[in-house]
Amino acid sequence: MAYHYMSYDFNIYLPFNIQGLIMLEPISFFGMNAWRRSVGMSEYTMDQYYPDIATLRVSEWSDEFEDAMHVRMVMGAFRYGRLNAAYKPEFDRLSSIRDRIKLYYDDRNDEHLVDIANLCLCEYVEGKHPKKHWDPLPHGDHTTMKPTT
């Protein structure tokens, strides 16, 4: 049986050598590779698992997507009001997010993804719901992997 949830709570450390340094690696790296093998995925190398921060800052972001968001936010300032403007009406952003997700499922138009991101940004900055809060979730699955065929 393949595990579809990796726990990162292990405190067992195994030695490994990376760039001439002996470091202790939590068992999660080895467990993760065992899980990847069990579902037919290739294993990560240490360099893939531990790239430097500068590499991650480039690889884990899309300037193109950010630029599209920014252009839409500027246009939105004219249509809906500036971010945090006192005169700005309240919007039902969660319903708009849900509607755009459905639209994206139907037509796969990337514009919907940019709109969703901007709606999330606006809700994060301006949301006034009394239960709104920041409480980071524990490690675990934050997305669903499609089955391999």
Q: Express each pLDDT in 26-52 by its tens digit.
A: 556 777 788 888 888 888 877 676 667
Q: What span, in angstroms and rounded, lies between the C-alpha atoms of 35 and 88?
A: 49
Q: Are 8 and 139 in contact (CB under 8 A)?
A: yes
Task: Kindly list the distances between the CA atom of residue 2 and the CA atoms of 28, 30, 32, 37, 141, in Å, as whole numbers in the listed order.
Answer: 15, 15, 11, 9, 14
Q: Report domain extents, the chain.
A: 13-59, 63-126
Specify the pTM: 0.65
| Residue 12's pLDDT band (cuts 50, 70, 90) | very low
Q: What span, in angstroms and rounded, lies between the C-alpha atoms of 111 and 95?
A: 17
What is the per-residue pLDDT across 91-102, written as a single tens digit (0 to 9) for each?
999 999 999 999
